[in-house]
Structure 1
């Protein structure tokens, strides 16, 4: 979800700062109780705004975004994409010989900026949770993921107008606005909050999890050691989850029997930009699940599931590979795949 490169030198964690601006658009059909079009933007993994076809206007999600741009213009742009996406869903249903069911057309695009000045950008389209088209900036062409996408690829490649416009946007306007947003939200986006680390176990015979929560930014490394040596076997790293307050949580589970960790010295190390925390695994330090499960985990999972529903609608697999962006200012193409 996921945006800082980690370089490990000895036992120290070195962070290469990276900022990102991402946008997700989803047009869908066949779901009566869900908006036919949803759009949202994110800066450094934090949602900054939201639009859907039911509310009909763009809504800011961060106080530091107030007054930074013309929200009426953003609403107009997203209404344009709403109409475009609705049309494209119908076109692709015909192209895939579909008449009924739940279907979706997705777009994600965005840019990233490292502190050393390195930039990246991407445009990717998906249909029904699968890759459809992606931009190759180096050749100014589009890569078709299936035969049905070739029709659109040929159309877009014929003039390269869309590829040129998208590349220029990603390399210039997107980076400019990313820098502005990071400046506006600096106190929030660049803050450092240390993780709270706990050793959790459902019952005496269950695996032990090293759970880190409440940390910001999201980059964290959780590792296990056995008798002073790195221990990578029988370890499962959980997904990164966002908490209700915007901080993050993650867990790493040690899948060894209690008799093994009781007769050896196991420890969990959590490395974060703010600090490094090491917990030695002993029975007296374990929190069991006999009491209600920690409420932070429950809230975090609920928020994560809700975000995935909003972004993916029907399970957007493309989202797992990259993240995307929405345009601000400049000239826009309301796309048509026909």
Structure 2
């Protein structure tokens, strides 16, 4: 490792994620990619969803926090296809996991690399954060210095993309360029890092090897052991919810994977924003996700309900899953308005749109 003033710089493998089931990137940029497909059948939808997951990712994020008392906190996490697999902290600098299948990966493929990354990243961040604060003329407040990188692997073409970058207080600071094997400063204060790190050719070689060789190998190991959770695309179940007759109607989708989705309300086929409140995508405890979108209906006439629909889309698939606004299938605090309804009965292809038909039985 070297601080701003010099010394040995030991590169490491890092990526983006958060200490939770769902990956949450900091505000400085990360690499993403995807594919589109326009399947025109139920099978086509599943095939299209599978295309999303042809590109897999292993990302790590190490974050150092320095507060008023000059005492640095540190956390690190490894994320595969959006799910946390390993983590570490200042109090536990060894790789830990809460997932049984990940323990198998650790058993047969020891994660010394991640343990080393935790220790080395903590050292690197702690050595530099105070000097960074001085260079930015920051003498008070809480500040963060982050390291984020990793790789993406296309299991169809075999293409690998690597990325590694640093951020200070949520802003891009310096990025490693795999095309030139040099560091690119994105902030004037990062020039001194570039000068030191570019002169260490051995470290630059290790950086490339980490991103292009080691990272994809570890990613494939995780995918081999966790394929049923990390690779299989899952369609959601849908519910229309309402607390009281005058409350907004909530369109709730749950159990879907991956988490690159969009859900909106439409009127007469056109997306609407007025009276719509869109919730965040949040993780379930089974490695799937859920989200909700509210529609204010106080001004909607009963005869106009059929003009509204909740539309769910996977981001990289040109297909809509439509849930029609229908009082008969709304769940309330007293239970469902009518019993024995099948909320996720079928997907019917109508005009290239998959309609969630909530007809009763």
TM range (shorter): 0.7 to 0.9
CA distance in 1, matches of 2:262, 2:35: 9
Residue of structure 2 aligned with 1:268, choices 310, 332, 352: 310
Asked whether the equivalents of residues 62 and 118 of structure 2 are also in contact (C-alpha less than 8 Å), the reply is: no
State yes or no: 1:216 paired with 2:254. Answer: no
State yes or no: 1:145 paired with 2:174. Answer: no
TM-score of the superposition, structure 2-length normalised? 0.68
Asked whether the equivalents of residues 246 and 297 of structure 2 are also in contact (C-alpha less than 8 Å), the reply is: no
Shift of 1:212: 0.6
Residue of structure 2 aligned with 1:128, choices 160, 165, 169: 169
1:95-121 CA distance string (max 9 Å, x none): 223334322210011111123323222
The residue aligned with 1:285 is: 329
State yes or no: 1:20 paired with 2:23. Answer: no
CA distance in 2, matches of 1:181, 1:60: 13
Deviates more, 1:185-194 or 1:109-118: 185-194
Asked whether the equivalents of residues 36 and 86 of structure 1 are also in contact (C-alpha less than 8 Å), the reply is: no
The residue aligned with 1:69 is: 109
Unaligned runs of 5+ in 1: 292-338
The residue aligned with 2:150 is: 110
The residue aligned with 1:154 is: 195
CA distance in 2, matches of 1:256, 1:55: 51
TM-score of the superposition, structure 1-length normalised? 0.72
The residue aligned with 2:133 is: 93
Asked whether the equivalents of residues 269 and 278 of structure 1 are also in contact (C-alpha less than 8 Å), the reply is: yes
RCO comparison, higher one (Cα < 8 Å, 6+): 1
Shift of 1:132: 0.9
CA distance in 2, matches of 1:48, 1:204: 43
Residue of structure 2 aligned with 1:48, choices 85, 89, 94: 85
Asked whether the equivalents of residues 60 and 77 of structure 2 are also in contact (C-alpha less than 8 Å), the reply is: yes
Asked whether the equivalents of residues 47 and 61 of structure 1 are also in contact (C-alpha less than 8 Å), the reply is: no
The alignment yields a C-alpha RMSD, in angstroms, of 3.4
Asked whether the equivalents of residues 236 and 255 of structure 2 are also in contact (C-alpha less than 8 Å), the reply is: yes
Local SS of the residue matching 1:176 = helix
1:264-310 CA distance string (max 9 Å, x none): 4222233569x97532102333345799xxxxxxxxxxxxxxxxxxx
CA distance in 2, matches of 1:60, 1:50: 6
Max radius of gyration: which structure?
2
Shift of 1:57: 2.6
